[in-house]
Each structure stands twice: as C-alpha cells, then as structure tokens.
Amino acid sequence: MLRKAIFLTVTFCAAAVAGASQVHDSLWKDFVNPPDAAKPWCYYLWQNGLADRETITADLESMKRLGFGGINMLDTRGYWDDENHVVIPKAEIVWGSPEWYDLVEFCIRECARLGLEFTMNVAASGGSMISYIDGKPYEADVLDRNDILAHLDRVFGPILKRVPDLVGKTFTHVYSVSYEGNVKTGGSWKTIKDNFYATMRQWAHEHGLKIYSESGGPWYMGGGSAPLDCSQLDLLAHNDFPQGEFWPIMERGDLPCAGHANINGRFFLRGVVLAARREGSNIVSMEAFTHMLRHYSVDPAFLKPLADMSFADGANRMVWHTFTSSPEKFGVPGTEYFAGSHINRNVTWHKDADAFVKYLGRCQALLQRGEYVDDGEFVDVQTNYYGWGRFRKDPNAQFTTIHRREGDVDFFFVAGEGRNVLEVGVPCEGRTVEIWDPVTAARKPTRCAQLSNGRTQILPLELPVGGSCFVVFAPGVENNKNNAEQPFEGRRATARRDKSFEESESPRGCAASAKGLSSSCLSCFPITNAWQVSFAYHDGISAKPPAPVTMETLRDWTTYGKDGEAASTSLRYFSGTATYKTIVRIPPTHNSQLTTPNFQLALGELPSGLAHVFVNGVDCGVVWCAPWEAGIPPDALREGENELEIRYTNNWYNRLVGDCFLRPEERVTRSTLRYSEKARAKSDPKRHWMLLPTIYSGPAVSDPLQPSGLIGPVVLKLCNNQ
C-alpha cells in the first residue's frame, strides 16, 4: 500500500472535514492567515543611533512584508565598543536630543501606518540602565526607586508627549534587557525586584503602557554584585509577559547534526514558562536566535529546530535577534551588531525570508490560542530557576510535544524527526484527526488507533530532519472507520527511530529513494540535463560577479578554484543568488495527470541557504527546510519541454572570508566587521570558542568555507494523493 507523501490542498481538506466545530474553523483561519497579534517581533537595532528616515521606512516596510508584527527598538550605543567586537561607527546625533526623538517619533508613526507594534528598550545600552544628561552618559541605580522613576521620565517622557494618540495602540510596551549593570548602593535581588521591576511596571501602567523583560538574567554565572536570594519567578512576575532567550551553540561546520532537533541550542526558558503560567500570562516571549558565532553563517533551516524546541517547551512569541538599521552609506552588508542572526535588508536571503517568518507566525497563531494542558511532560523545577535550561523530562525523545485545548478542539505541536508512532493523551473516537503543516499551511487526515486507556496513537508520524507539525483533534465525521488500525503496543514517541518503518516504498531505481525523500512516488524523473547557472550579488553590490557556467553535474561552489584566489569573480567565495535553469521533458503518457496537484520538485538537501523555485515561469514558492521540496501548482507543467528555474541563495559568509584576502578597495563587501588577514589562534586550548581574533568581531582568512550551491539530485516527482 502506498503511503501518502504530500499534504492535501486546502480545498480538498475543507470538504473532508465538513461539520467540524466553529473553534476548529477559527483555528484554521488563524493558522492560514495569522492575525497581527500572533506574528513574531524583531529587535530593531540602531548602532550608535545610526538611522535615518529613508532607512527606517525601508526597514519597517520590509519587516511588514516578511510577516513581522512588531519591533523592539534599541539604540545600542555604549555596549561592547572595543577591538574584540565589531567596529561601531561614531554617533552622528546625541542620544535624547530633539533630533534623536524626531527619529523615534517618525519610527512610531511609520509603525502605525504599517500596522506594526512598537516597543522600546528602557535604556541607551544593552544590559545597563544608561541614559544621557547633557550629552554625558548616566547610569541609573536599580536599587533606587526615585532614580528609576526619574530615568523612565527622562527616557520616555518626550515620546509620550509627541505621540499621545498612539500610546497603548502602536506604542504598547517598554522593555528591559537582562540586567547586567552595576548595583551602586549594595543590596540584593529582592530589592531589585521591588525598586526596579515593580517600579517600572507601576510607572508603565500609569502611563498606558505595559512592560516585558528578561528579569534577572539569563546569565548563568550568577547575579554579579548582587546575590541571588529570591526566586526568579518573583522577578519575572512583574512583567505583563515575561521573556527568555535561546542561542545556537553549534555552527554548521562543527557537527554533522547541527541544525537537527533537540540539540544545538542553549535555552533560558524554564523559569519564564513557569512564571507566565503562574501569573496567567498568555504570552511567553523569547529573544530568538541570539548567538556570537561567525557572522552571516546561519540561515532558516539551521534556526528552525531552535524555534521548534522553544515552541514545544511553552514559548509562543519569537523576537528575532536581530534586524539592524544600516543606512546606505555604510555599504553592504553594512553596519551590524556583534551578536544575533542577522535578517536586515542587506542579508543575502532577506527577500525570501518571509517563508520562515510566516512559518513562525503560523505556529504562534495556534500556540497563543486556547489553554495549556499539562500532560506531565515537564520537569518539576524547584525554587532556583536562574540560568539556562529546557523544560523536558526526556531531552532525547524522538518527538517533543505540547498540548493545548480550546473548546472542543485539542491540538498538539510536535517537533522532531524520523518516523514512529506518536502517542497522545486524548481519545480519537468520534473526532477528526488531522496533521497541519506550518511550513506549507496545508493539512491532511491521518491514521490513528484508539487505545483502551483513552489515549491515541498516530500511526505513524513522519517528520523530516528538524521537522514539525500540529496534530489537531476536532469533533466531526468520525474518520477512524477509514483510518483506524490496531495499536502498536509498547511503542512510544520517546523511542529512537523505529527501524521497521525505514523501508522504502519508492519504485525501484527512483532517485528519491536513494536520498531518503518522501517515499510514495508513483513516478519520478531524476533531472540529468546540464544546468545553465548565472550569478548575481546583492542589489547593493557593484562588483562584477562570477561569469555564467554550464554545470553538467551539480557541485559545491567551494570546489572551484583555490584558497586565496578571492577576486570578486571567484565562484569559490561567491555569496549571493545563483539562477539554475534547465529543461525537463514530460512524456505524453502523463498528460492526463498534469492538471493535478501531485507534482513536487525535490532539490536534495541544500548545504546552506534557501531556494526559490519556478516552473515555466510559475512561482512554486521558497524551499528553505527539509524535506527540501516544492509543490508544483496545477497547470504549471505541460506535455513536452518544461523550463525549471531555481534561484538558490547562500549566506554572506564565504564572500566575507574571501574579502579577508583582498585589500579594502578590492573587497566585494563593505561592513563594520573586522577583516583579519591572519589566521585565528586559540587563546584557551580547552575552549574552542576562545579564538583571537574573536569570531564575533568578523571573518578571518583561516575560516573554513560553507558548502554552497545545489548539490542535488533534483527530482521531479509524481506522488500519490489518495
């Protein structure tokens, strides 16, 4: 029996679940088109206040297009400005001056025009309560209530006077980063709780605003000059919603498994989730994708499993760190912060990043609905919540789930990879059971088995590398008569990949089978024709790109040329978009099937970056994560010759390494990163990240290149949709 490989179309599924509840229909509506309140936010950083009206407008418009719902504006002056970090251009306007507040007001009013929520940091620096008086920096004392009130009036008072019509509407929250400043007057975290966090919340509410913060940390080295003598839940309780954070801790080149589920991240999550549940906050926010790995080395496929693990542990709002303002005069990639996964307009794959941002929005649209249901999956943490940590009993489980319920609908977010039985704690009798795919915004019914104890087995659940889905139980026409099977006793989602499910059902000789692609191909056509490949840098780059090439066989770009041969025309160090074109011929025998939504184009695993697929000029969407396939719309293919066009974009990383070999005037890129002509050296042999120059200051000639390009095989698949 051939198993289903693709998600059914929205139209087909809507008919299949006729009679489902109003809650079910409402959830699906929000899932397909997330409301603004469910969309992710991003940090909007002004390095030393370097922003202008043209840049602000272009940045905010691009955020809106990508699918963000709000911003957190931080002016990062005075924070880690030294030779081990990026080169921060000198400030051009004084923090807190009328000119500075003109830009802040303009930013808020542009957010209002675009329907973006505006929030802002309470200080002029990252983790300290710094503001400026007469142009000189001043750090407020977090143990002095009067000093905090004066600080808040000084920072936000002018804004409240300028945009009174937008307070509580567009300008909604003030924000405090994890506090890392000095405690001037001595004391403890208990007094910080009362004099800082409680005071800030009281002030905000009195002025029509709310607050969120990473109260009291996430720094695992402790409280610095103040002892940790209170529960972190008490600190977090003063937020209208609390915020944690998570970091990638591995790079693509460090481990073959980097980018997979359940690994590759450091999470400050446990106390934040508990605080939100204890205080009745529906929002659990996460500063997302923070890291100090090599700049521009990450992409959506690498980041997705980190977000998924955070979602599965209880988070439901990502705040992407970071989108940096970079005025045109600073070049491309321009001015950048020393940390974070960059997503501003100068990132190579920025224009196609909407596929991932909208994925986050779909997940959040459901995870902000209903109520959390405790199925006993979380650890019982005691009073000390300080520090890093996830929230699971079994971090090695194949599938990690979180259960929510709204009205008569139960739904589970599931993260993981592989194929196995998933058991969940709700009955399926008399209910429809569906898989909702947040990558494609499509759904399909699934097979299930009712257990005698009232639980349900999904038989089996199959997720790609770093995969995710929602399993939705709703009242309606019972589908178990058609889909039910006998329970698989003894199998649990916590088991490792079940080898009995690994057999391939692809036709003999199908290239899809060899690469582990979805296994229910009726027919597949490996594309063996040569590819015509042309190259283009980012729009802001004037350098000449590599010349077009004909690739008889798909291969990694970094296998062209030699180390150090880094001219702008070097394919070895190219970063940008490569357009692959070829012709595929469809035999007349398949003509009757060309108008069905059964065709997919499998690209093989992309080593980095993402790809935008077109068939005969028809946009088939962005392929950005496993299983690295694009669905081909009906009527896009035709009998005979068909033109395939794949616009693959890698990261900036390789070009930055190449530019380290060149004189400044010869470089392709212009940025505030430090380009090192010398190899990195370990300052501490026991710590792999202790390198000089630091990896967060910029690239170096010794940095290994990222594999790039279409590797293939590229396969056109006709799949079963029964």
For residues 513-531, give the mean pLDDT. Answer: 63
Is the same domain home to 306 and 419? Answer: no
What's the gap between Cα 693 and its chain centre?
A: 28
CA angle 68, 72, 77 (to 5 degrees): 135
In this model, does residue 516 exceed pLDDT 90? no
Look at residues 501, 534, 551 and tell me which one is the last residue of a structural domain. Answer: 501
Listed in sequence order, the DSSP H helices in 515-632 are none
Report whether 391 contacts 273 (CB < 8 A). yes
- Does residue 685 belong to any structural domain of this protein? no
Is the same domain home to 410 and 537? Answer: no
Query: Which neighbouring-strand residues pair with 119?
Result: 72, 173
Look at residues 448, 466, 501 and tell me which one is the last residue of a structural domain. Answer: 501
Is the same domain home to 533 and 616? Answer: yes
Is the same domain home to 549 and 613? Answer: yes
Is the same domain home to 325 and 178? Answer: yes
> Domain containing 444: what range?
399-501
Give the confidence band of 484 by pLDDT, cuts at 50, 70, 90: low
If one counts the domains in the chain, the total is 3
Is the same domain home to 229 and 354? Answer: yes
- Does residue 275 belong to any structural domain of this protein? yes
Q: Of the given ranges (401-410, 469-478, 680-689), which has the lowest mean pLDDT?
A: 680-689
Is the same domain home to 324 and 250? Answer: yes
Tokens found for residue 134: 């007469």
- Amino acid 259: pLDDT: 55
In this model, does residue 392 exceed pLDDT 90? no
> Quick one: three-class SS letters along 337-405?
CCCCCCCCCCCCCHHHCHHHHHHHHHHHHHHCCCEEECCCCECCCCCCCCCCECCECCCCCCEEEEEEE
Q: Of the given ranges (88-97, 498-507, 637-646), which has the lowest mean pLDDT?
A: 498-507
- Does residue 391 belong to any structural domain of this protein? no
Other C-beta atoms within 10 Å of 182: how many? 13
Report whether 336 contacts 696 (CB < 8 A). no
In this model, does residue 298 exceed pLDDT 70? yes
Preceding amide of 713 cis, omega within 30? yes
Tokens found for residue 347: 């990132």
Other C-beta atoms within 10 Å of 705: how many? 19
Tokens found for residue 441: 């915004």
Query: What CA–CA distance (Å, rounded) separates 582 from 126?
Result: 49
Identity of the amino acid at 2: L
In this model, does residue 189 exceed pLDDT 90? no
Q: Nearest-CA neighbor of 483 among 547, 432, 521?
A: 432
- Amino acid 683: pLDDT: 74
Tokens found for residue 406: 């709204």
For residues 125-148, give the mean pLDDT. Answer: 81
CATH number at residue 242: 3.20.20.80
Is the same domain home to 169 and 308? Answer: yes
Residue 479: CA count within 13 A, CB half-sphere: 23
Task: Give the β-pairing of 610-615 and 618-623.
Answer: antiparallel
Give the confidence band of 12 by pLDDT, cuts at 50, 70, 90: very low
- Does residue 26 belong to any structural domain of this protein? no
Query: What CA–CA distance (Å, rounded) separates 152 from 169?
Result: 19
Top-confidence residue, 681 or 171: 171
Q: Hunting for tokens 């209530």 — which residue is that?
A: 145
- Does residue 537 belong to any structural domain of this protein? yes
In this model, does residue 509 exceed pLDDT 50? no
Query: What CA–CA distance (Å, rounded) separates 340 from 43?
Result: 10
- Amino acid 266: pLDDT: 80
- Does residue 573 belong to any structural domain of this protein? yes
In this model, does residue 482 exceed pLDDT 90? no
- Amino acid 396: pLDDT: 74
Quote the mean pLDDT of the chain: 85
Q: Nearest-CA neighbor of 260 among 304, 320, 310?
A: 304
Cα distances (Å, whole numbers) of residue 112 to 117, 166, 216, 552? 7, 8, 32, 52
Tokens found for residue 301: 């496929």
Query: Which neighbouring-strand residues pair with 600?
Result: 631, 717
- Amino acid 438: pLDDT: 98
Helices 354-367 and 22-32 pack at an angle, to 10 degrees, of 160
What is the phi/psi pair of residue 621, to 5°?
A: 95, 180
Cα distances (Å, whole numbers) of residue 6 to 304, 435, 444? 20, 11, 9
Q: Which positions ≥6 away from 630 have C-beta within 8 Å?
A: 600, 601, 603, 613, 620, 621, 623
- Amino acid 588: pLDDT: 76
Give the confidence band of 550 by pLDDT, cuts at 50, 70, 90: very high
Top-confidence residue, 262 or 38: 38
Q: Hunting for tokens 């004909």 — which residue is that?
A: 550
For residues 112-117, give the mean pLDDT. Answer: 98
- Does residue 312 belong to any structural domain of this protein? yes
Q: Of the given ranges (93-107, 209-223, 247-261), which has the lowest mean pLDDT?
A: 247-261
- Amino acid 265: pLDDT: 75
Query: What CA–CA distance (Å, rounded) separates 650 from 302?
Result: 13
Query: What CA–CA distance (Å, rounded) separates 300 from 649?
Result: 12
In this model, does residue 55 exceed pLDDT 50? yes
Is the same domain home to 224 and 307? Answer: yes
CATH number at residue 453: 2.60.40
- Does residue 99 belong to any structural domain of this protein? yes
Is the same domain home to 496 and 586? Answer: no
Question: pLDDT, tens digit, for every residue of 408-436?
Answer: 999 999 999 999 999 999 999 999 999 99
In this model, does residue 125 exceed pLDDT 80? no
Question: pLDDT, tens digit, for every residue of 137-175?
Answer: 888 888 889 999 999 999 999 999 999 999 999 999 999
Preceding amide of 553 cis, omega within 30? no
Other C-beta atoms within 10 Å of 122: how many? 24
Beta strand ranges found along 494-639 (DSSP E): 521-526, 531-536, 549-551, 577-586, 599-602, 610-615, 618-623, 629-631
What is the phi/psi pair of residue 66, to 5°?
A: -70, -25
- Amino acid 320: pLDDT: 98
Look at residues 501, 535, 564 and tell me which one is the last residue of a structural domain. Answer: 501
Is the same domain home to 198 and 102? Answer: yes
CA angle 292, 293, 295 (to 5 degrees): 95
Question: pLDDT, tens digit, for every residue of 568-620?
Answer: 999 999 999 999 999 998 877 655 666 666 789 999 989 999 999 999 999 99
Give the confidence band of 279 by pLDDT, cuts at 50, 70, 90: very high
- Amino acid 149: pLDDT: 95
Is the same domain home to 112 and 252? Answer: yes
